[in-house]
Amino acid sequence: MSAKKTHFLVILFFLFSTTLSFSQEKEKVQLFDSEEPFYMNMALSIKELRSKTNDSTFMPQEIQVKNEAGQWEALPFEIRTRGNFRLDNCFYPPTRIRMDKDDAKGTMFQGYRRLKLVMPCSRAKSSESLVGKEFLAYKLYEVVTKYTFHTRLIQLTFTNLDDRKQEPVEMLGFVIEDDDDAAQRFEGEMMDGKKITPQIMEDTATVVHDFFQMMIGNTDWSGLYQHNQKVMKLDSKTVVPFAYDFDMTGLVNPPYAQVNSNISITKVTERLYRGFCREQAIFDYARKLFLEKEGEMMSLIDTYSSLYSDADAKSMRNYIAEFYSLLKSDKMFQAKIVESCRKPDGTYDF
C-alpha cells in the first residue's frame, strides 16, 4: 500500500472516530431529552442536611438512579440546602445536587451535573399534588417563551435516616436546570448579584414574563432584586428574565402561601399585574400571543393530569380561564394590566 493511501486511511479513520465519539457524547446528554420521569433513590439525615450545609457548603451523598437499561447506578453526588421560605417552613428542604465532571461522564447527568431538586414540602400525601401543579407551571411557561429552565420529573424513593424505622417513602419530585447551564444554551450570562432596572430589560420578553406571572397568580418575584427570577444578558443590549419557583402562586395555592403585605391583594389567588409600564404595542403583542395559546395552555392541564387530583385540575382550568376572560375584555385588559402597570419608581397609580 502506498504511503499516500495509508495517510488517507489514517485521516479517514480519525474523522470517523471523532464523529462517532461526538455522536456518542451527544447521545449521553439526555437528562432533559425525555418527558418521562426517571427513578431516584436517596437516603440521608434531614437534620444533618440542615445543620451541615448552606448556600456554599455541600455534603457528600450517594444517590441511586435507574438507567435506561433498568439497572440501578450508585452515583457520587454532593447535596446542600437552598432557598429561604421553603427551607424554613417545609419538612423536606429544597436542595441543590451536583456531581464531579468526571463522575458525570457517561451518565444521564453528563452536561447537566448541577441541578436544583424539588421535593414535596410536607409529608402529607396532598403535598405531592402541589409538586405536580408547580411542575405544570414550568411547562405552561414554555408555551409562551423560550427563556425557561429545563425541568424533568422524578419518582423519588426517599429514606430519612432520622426516623427510627427508616422506612422509604415514595414521592413525586422534579429537577431544574442549573443557571449556568441555561445560560450556556443561549450563549448568554446570568447577571447574578446585580440590580437590573426594568428600563434595560428587553421589552417583549419581559412583558410576556409579566403576563405569565399574572396568569398563574404570582406576585412573589422581583426582577430588580432577582427574587425568584434570574436575569440573563444575551448581548450588550439584550437582557431577559428567567422565572422559577412557582409554588407561592394562585395556580398552585399551597396551604403555606403568603402574600407580601406591601401589595394590595390579600391572598395568592387574587391577581395583580406587577410588570412595569411599556408601550401599548408591547402589551397588545403579549395579549395576542397568550390568546393564541389558550387552547394549548388548557390542553397541558389535561396532559399532566396524573400529577394532581381531578379537583385540582378543575380548579386550575377555572383559574386560567379567569385570566383569559380578562384578556378577552378590552375594558378589563386596559384597567387591570395597561393602566395598572408600575411606574419607573416601582409605584402604582392606584
19 pLDDT more than 90: no
11 pLDDT more than 70: no
Looking at residue 343, the DSSP 8-state letter turns out to be P
Separation CA 219–CA 222 (nearest Å): 8
Separation CA 287–CA 131 (nearest Å): 28
287 pLDDT more than 90: yes
Number of continuous H segments (helices) and E segments (strands) in the chain: 11, 10
Look up cell 450556556; give the residue: 184
Query: What is the rounded average pLDDT of the residues 252-264?
Result: 89
| Per-residue pLDDT, 350 | 53
The model's confidence at residue 8, banded by pLDDT at 50, 70 and 90, is very low
Query: In terms of domains, do 51 and 113 share one?
Result: yes
Tell me whether residue 108 is in a domain. yes
| Per-residue pLDDT, 1 | 56
Looking at residue 305, the DSSP 8-state letter turns out to be G
Q: Could you count the other beta carbons within 10 Å of the beta carbon of residue 246?
A: 24
Q: Which one has a higher pLDDT value, 133 or 14?
A: 133
Least confident of 11-25, 134-148, 271-285, 310-324: 11-25
End residue of a domain, out of 161, 180, 199: 180
Query: Count of domains in the chain?
Result: 2
Tell me whether residue 277 is in a domain. yes
Look up cell 406576585; give the residue: 219
35 pLDDT more than 60: yes
Least confident of 36-40, 51-55, 190-194: 190-194
Query: In terms of domains, do 243 and 327 share one?
Result: yes
End residue of a domain, out of 180, 200, 234: 180
Query: In terms of domains, do 192 and 336 share one?
Result: yes
Query: What is the rounded average pLDDT of the residues 175-191?
Result: 96
pLDDT, tens digit (0-9, with 9 covering 90-100), for 67-84: 888 899 999 999 999 988
How is residue 281 written as a grid cell?
Answer: 404595542
13 pLDDT more than 70: no
pLDDT, tens digit (0-9, with 9 covering 90-100), for 106-158: 999 999 999 999 999 999 988 999 999 999 999 999 999 999 999 999 999 99
The model's confidence at residue 16, banded by pLDDT at 50, 70 and 90, is very low
Q: Which domain holds residue 206?
A: 187-340
Separation CA 61–CA 53 (nearest Å): 12
Inter-helix orientation angle 310-328/203-215, to 10°: 130
Tell me whether residue 3 is in a domain. no
Give, in degrees to the nearest 5, the angle at Cα 346 between 344 and 350. Answer: 105
Query: In terms of domains, do 215 and 293 share one?
Result: yes
- CB 330, CB 336: distance < 8 Å: no
Tell me whether residue 26 is in a domain. no
| Per-residue pLDDT, 29 | 47
According to DSSP, the residues that pair with 41 across neighbouring strands are 64, 157
Q: Which one has a higher pLDDT value, 25 or 281?
A: 281
Within its chain, how far is the Cα of 178 from the centroid? 9
Query: In terms of domains, do 217 and 318 share one?
Result: yes
Query: In terms of domains, do 218 and 313 share one?
Result: yes
Least confident of 53-57, 123-127, 191-195: 191-195
Tell me whether residue 142 is in a domain. no
Tell me whether residue 138 is in a domain. no
Tell me whether residue 140 is in a domain. no
Query: In terms of domains, do 66 and 176 share one?
Result: yes
Query: In terms of domains, do 159 and 236 share one?
Result: no
- CB 253, CB 269: distance < 8 Å: yes
Separation CA 94–CA 131 (nearest Å): 12
Q: Which one has a higher pLDDT value, 70 or 329?
A: 329
| Per-residue pLDDT, 42 | 97
Query: In terms of domains, do 174 and 191 share one?
Result: no
pTM: 0.90
Look up cell 425541568; give the residue: 151
Query: In terms of domains, do 227 and 328 share one?
Result: yes
Tell me whether residue 127 is in a domain. no
Mean pLDDT computed over every residue of the chain: 90
Query: In terms of domains, do 218 and 257 share one?
Result: yes
Query: In terms of domains, do 96 and 197 share one?
Result: no
